[in-house]
Structures are given as C-alpha cells and as structure tokens.
Amino acid sequence: MFGRASVFLVLGFSGILLMYTQNLFTFSSNSVDVYSQYYTNTMAENIASSAANLACNQFFLSPTWTTGYSNVSFNGGTFSASIVSLASNRKKIIATGSYSGLTKTVEVILQPSSFARFGYYGAIMPGNLYYVTGDTVSGPMHVQGKLNVWGRPVFTGKVTTKNGLKKLDSSTDPQFLGGYESGINLPLPSTINTVSADAESGGKFFSSTDVWLTFNSNGSVDYKVGSSGSWENEMLSTFAPNGVISVDKGNLHIKGTVKGKITLGATLSSGTSNGNIYLDDNIVYDTDPTNPTCTDMLGIVATNNVIVSDNVPNKSDIIINASIFSLKGGLKAEHYSTIPYSGTIRLTGGLIEYQAQATGVFNPYTGQITNGYNSYIRFDERFMTQVPPSFPKSASYEVLSWFE
C-alpha cells in the first residue's frame, strides 16, 4: 500500500512541476510580448512627441511656416506633421510617429501670444532711464532694445531684450530671478484696429467724440458722450455684450469699479490730442485681484497715452487694476512737472508701452519726488493664463494645449 502511495505522490509532484514549468514558460513568453509592446508603444509616442516639438520650433521661428514634415526617418521609425488653421488665428499641429507598424498622434494647439502676459514691456527705453538698486520689477519683462541697468535691480520674472544690456559700470549686477535672454525680437503691432472692430461688431463703439465712463460694482456703467452730454446708466451686459468699448478719433475718461471682463480702447487718432485714455480717479475691480476668486479683468488700450488726470481725486495716490497698452506713447501724469507731489501710482496688472513717459520729478540730491507721482507696478499673475477681451496680440505664438 505504501508503495502505491509513493507512486501516486511522485506522480502528483511531477504533475505539479510540469504545470508550474508550463506556466513559467507562458509567463516568460507573455512578459517578452508585453515588454515588446511597451517598447514599441513608447518609441512611437516619443517619435510623435519629437515631431511635435520640431514642428513647434519651426513655427515659433517662422509663424508663416506651413511646410510640415512627411515620412521623415527618425530613431528607427518615421514621423509626419501638418499645420491646420483654426478660428481666432489659432493653429493646430498634428504630428504622428510610427514604429514597427504602430502609429501614435500628438495634437498641439497654438494661439497668438497676448501682450497682457507682460508685467512690463518697453519698445523704446530712453538712454537716461535706468533700473537701479532698489528697483524691483515683477512678472515677465521685455525691452525691444537695450535694458539699462545700474547697481543691483531685481527682476522676479523672466527678462528678454532684443539688443542686450547697457550697464552703467563694471560693478553693475542685475538680479534676474526668472532668467534672462537676449536676441528676442518682439515688436509692437502696427495697429490696434481689432479693438475697434470688435467694439463695432459686438460691443460699444463711438467715433469723433470724447466719452466719459464710470463703472459700478453692480455691473453697470454710467456714461456721457461729449462734455455737454447727459449721463445715462446701462448694464454692461447690454451696453457692450462682448466686453469691448472703444472710441475712434476721441478720448476716453474712465474711473470706478469694474465687474466682469472689459477692454477699453481709444484706438484711432488724428494726432496726439485724441487717442488717449484719461484716468480720472481710481479704477479697480469689484473683487481684489489678489483674491483667487477674482474673475474681474480690465484692459486699457490707447493709440497714444494713458494719462493720470490732474484733478482733485488724484492728489493722493491713484489705484489702477488693469493691463495697460500704449501703441505710440505710455503711462504718464498730466502736468507732472508743475503739480505738487501727489503720492503713488499703484498699478496691479501690467504696463506695455512704446516709450516710458514721465510721471514725476525727483530731487537728484535726495532722490525724493518733488512733483507728480512715484510708481509701483505689481504684475497680475492671472494674465499668464487669461487676458481681457480683444487685448492686442503679438506675432509670436504660444502653446494652448498639448494632447497625446
């Protein structure tokens, strides 16, 4: 009996060993297949991503590039890429990568970059204007020329210039906390006609007149057309449904509390006497822009200057929540050299200007402002991902989405 039991025991263990060996070989075979599939899949994905990156680089170097790629040999496989035009001047890059019979696709959507994404932009930097020790500039910054520095100014965002730096002396040591790059050509657009076009097509448009606007925290606006006009009130949602308000060959006078997303433009001038926007008092958001829940947003776009008015409300600081764009001028203070010291221009948003303008006069011996205003600019970080409606765009593109 014990002999037969031993035989059954041996046969049982042999059967178990055979099954285990078979499973081991099957598992090993499957592992090789899985690894092979994983490797093929990864290679196809990497080739497609490389094609998308190459196409993006070509497009960034030349925004008119539409040649694409067709069956280019790369890393043991092939890739192709094409460019498709979308609405709002957006572009889509469709890149494919093939390896061992498997094809993967990457789609990248690009859009024109908005100037609102700058904390400061200057097309021209006057030769006598320097950023010096004690100056701090927040947010991305670009100078379409040379950046003049002296001492140890601090720049918290990435700084780019077209023609490099101009250091006053050998001890100058600017602090570029977000990095620095030279040789970047980013000119202002030739016109800001899209603002007036959008105001005509779905916003509020005025022509050959001055307009006064006072914004209210309930989402309405008080407005007056012409200096002798009568004040009227209307909800912004019906006054300018798409959020764009513009005047051609006239000036805007603005103040108040903005609720919603709005762009204001003085977009066509027949000289320097119009195409300006006057800040008659504080213009702020209904919700503090440093509050993460703030959805209010303002763009101020002028052909000529954005001017702090010489009036009673502005004699002790002026607070501005907006991204300011000036095509041919800059942010300046009216009668800055003759008015008494009036505090600080406190801008939360950004400043994009053709050339820096004067806002005050300082005593060269004490460094104190004697007339006009100090200036303080704090970049609104929300402008990195959101911009006011119809705000001017640059000729360069940025990635809006990347889908694999």
- Distance (Å, whole) CA 115 – CA 368: 32
Same domain membership, residue 266 and residue 164: yes
Number of domains the chain is built from: 2
Name the residue range of residue 196's domain: 115-399
Same domain membership, residue 329 and residue 221: yes
Same domain membership, residue 121 and residue 41: no
Same domain membership, residue 126 and residue 96: no
Q: Residue 195: inside a domain, yes or no?
A: yes
Cα 241 vs. chain centroid, distance in angstroms? Answer: 23
pLDDT at 81: 93
pLDDT at 11: 55
Per-residue pLDDT of the chain (404 residues; tens, 9 = 90+): 555 656 555 556 666 666 656 665 555 555 666 667 888 889 989 999 999 999 888 887 787 888 899 999 998 999 999 998 888 778 899 999 999 989 999 999 888 789 999 999 999 988 878 888 878 889 999 999 999 998 899 999 999 999 999 998 888 999 999 999 999 898 999 899 999 999 999 999 999 999 999 999 999 999 999 999 999 999 999 999 999 999 999 999 999 999 999 999 999 877 888 999 999 999 999 999 999 899 999 999 999 999 999 999 999 899 999 999 999 999 999 999 999 999 889 999 999 999 988 888 877 777 678 899 988 889 999 998 889 999 998 877 778 788 88
Same domain membership, residue 199 and residue 77: no
Q: Residue 110: inside a domain, yes or no?
A: no
One-letter identity of residue 268: L
Q: Residue 21: inside a domain, yes or no?
A: yes
Distances from the Cα of 78 to the Cαs of 44, 95, 122, in angstroms? 9, 11, 44
What SS3 state is found at 372? strand
Same domain membership, residue 171 and residue 238: yes
For 171, what's the count of Cα atoms within 13 Å in the CB-facing half-sphere?
3
Same domain membership, residue 149 and residue 31: no
The share of the chain scoring above pLDDT 90, in percent, equals 61
The share of the chain scoring above pLDDT 70, in percent, equals 91
pLDDT at 73: 93
- Distance (Å, whole) CA 2 – CA 97: 67
pLDDT at 206: 97
Of 46, 69, 100, at which residue does a domain stop? 100
Task: Specify which residues 351 forms β-bridges with.
Answer: 120, 324
Question: Residue holding tokens 């950046």?
Answer: 147
Of 67, 100, 133, at which residue does a domain stop? 100
Of 100, 135, 160, at which residue does a domain stop? 100
pLDDT at 111: 81
pLDDT at 220: 97
pLDDT at 126: 84
Same domain membership, residue 164 and residue 48: no
- Distance (Å, whole) CA 205 – CA 225: 11
Q: Residue 61: inside a domain, yes or no?
A: yes
pLDDT in tens, 185-243: 989 998 999 999 999 999 999 999 999 999 999 999 999 999 999 999 999 999 999 99
DSSP assignment of 310-346: -SGGGGS-EEEEEEEEESSS-EEETTTTTSBEEEEEE
Name the pairing type of β-strands 141-143 and 159-161. parallel
Same domain membership, residue 162 and residue 68: no
Query: Which pTM value belongs to this model?
Result: 0.80
Phi and psi at 323, nearest 5°, equal: -100, 125
pLDDT at 108: 93
Q: Residue 131: inside a domain, yes or no?
A: yes
pLDDT at 18: 62
Q: Residue 404: inside a domain, yes or no?
A: no
Same domain membership, residue 307 and residue 251: yes
DSSP assignment of 131-144: EETT-EE-S-EEES
pLDDT at 89: 78
First-to-last alpha carbon distance for the chain, in angstroms, is 68
Question: Residue holding tokens 């989405």?
Answer: 401
Same domain membership, residue 330 and residue 289: yes
Structure tokens given for 47? 């080739």
